[in-house]
Amino acid sequence: MQGKTMLDLGLRNELIVLDTIRHAPEGTSQSEVVHRSGLSRQAVSLITRRLRERGLIETDGTLSGSRGKPRTILRLVPTALLATGVHLDPAGISVVVVDLLATTITQRTLDPPSDDPAADIDRIAEALVAVQADLRAQGWSTPDGRDVAEAMLGIGVASPGGIDVAQGFVVNPPWLPGWRDVPLVQRLAAATGLPVVLDKDTNAALTAETWSVAQPPGETVLYLYVGAGVGSAVSTGGRVHHGSAALAGEIGHLPTGLEGPVCACGRRACLSQFTDAATMLQAAEEQGILPAADGRRTTARLGDLADAAAGGDELAVALLDRFGTALGEALRTLISVHDPHRVVIGGPSWPTLAPLALPVLEERALAGVTHPITIESSLIGDGVGALGAAALFLQNELSPASR
């Protein structure tokens, strides 16, 4: 499987034009591309012709303006190129193939990561071969007739932190004890023949939220990821902040100011003590809300806890109230630090917990805030990690800001 970009990625202007057209889902005109890109009319005309020849954009009817002749509509051809996303999560490994708008083409869920990373990487490579074979059997091809393997740009991988993005290593991820100092990028690239990029699952999730929607240049978005644990990510103008060592957003030990036990880190009442899924489920078992672990996935058991709370179980209500309160206090701190225009909350556990946790979270987080801040739940669902990983690769390959 050999990745083929079809773009001369040294030509940043091509990426600028492609990005401008991508952010116009209803289509745009060449004149509008000139206006939005800042490039000359001659340059845009030449580039759009090349992009049409490569099958990346197409013409589709005309736009009628108030003056002059109708303008030809330019649209992205989303299925001209594909990317794969992989999410390493304690609950399972997710593999998804997406188009240029990060729309899912096909997906597959594998067993959780084991203590043998080499075997897990082989499983991921085999899954990619299998999903490509499935698409081929279904008759899938690009609009200009190329095979799925020819259209595949590469692979993005999302992992819990910590990771070394520059070196492509999974260093010391929480809840994945077998994955220590694993050269994931190098090994997966060797196993698949495709280029690979690696980032944190929180950054991936935020990238999924912003990839297909044009962000105002100065808009700051704060994302909270609720899964096995809780993390955060921040973007401005659609670009995610990584920090100096890709450790930005590790908020598990953020003080909540609540009453709670001393954490292993030495602080009292750290956020993770109220929001880690394993901690919540252990408390539910100890209080008799849930039976002992029965081998089902974490999200299913959190669903049982949420059902108990919705059914009026006072202990379950108290657990979820504590979760929402702690997360709200942490969010209040993050809002004061980042001053976002918008807060998005998502991740695999959030859809289950949101109905009961969101009201108390909003009350805590927005206490004392004097300007409008929107807090919204992600609409992507529990597949946001893998989808975001694919979007990470697309951003790395096709965003002009990456060049």
**Res. 245: pLDDT tops 60:** no
Number of domains in the chain: 3
Confidence class of residue 261 from pLDDT cuts 50, 70 and 90? confident
Alpha helices for 39-113 (secondary structure H):
41-53
Tell whether 287 and 270 lie within a shared domain.
yes
* pTM for the structure as a whole: 0.86
- Residues 292, 367, single domain; the answer is yes
Average pLDDT over residues 266-270: 85
Radius of gyration over every alpha carbon of the chain, rounded to an integer in angstroms: 23
Neighbour count for residue 265 (Cβ, 10 Å): 10
* Residue 32 domain flag: yes
User: 72 and 168: one domain?
Assistant: no
| 326 inside domain | yes
When pLDDT is cut at 50, 70 and 90, the band that residue 65 belongs to is low
Q: pLDDT for 25-39, tens place per residue?
A: 788 999 999 999 899
Could you tell me if 227 and 89 are in contact, meaning their C-beta atoms sit under 8 angstroms apart?
A: yes
Do residue 365 and residue 396 come from a single domain?
no
In a domain, 265, yes or no: yes
Lowest-confidence pick of 203-212, 247-256, 297-306, 326-335:
247-256
Within this chain, do residues 174 and 303 fall inside the same structural domain, yes or no? Answer: no
Domain hosting 177: range is: 80-209+385-402
C-alpha span between 136 and 46 (Å, rounded): 34
Residue 5, domain member (yes or no): no
352 and 389 part of one domain: no
In-domain check, residue 3? no
Query: In this structure, are 328 and 390 located in the same domain?
Result: no
Nearest to 204 by CA among 165, 172, 166, 167: 165
The answer as to whether 4 is a domain residue is no
User: Model confidence at 9, in pLDDT bands (50, 70, 90)?
Assistant: very low
Q: Please indicate, yes or no, if residue 6 is contained in any of the structural domains.
A: no
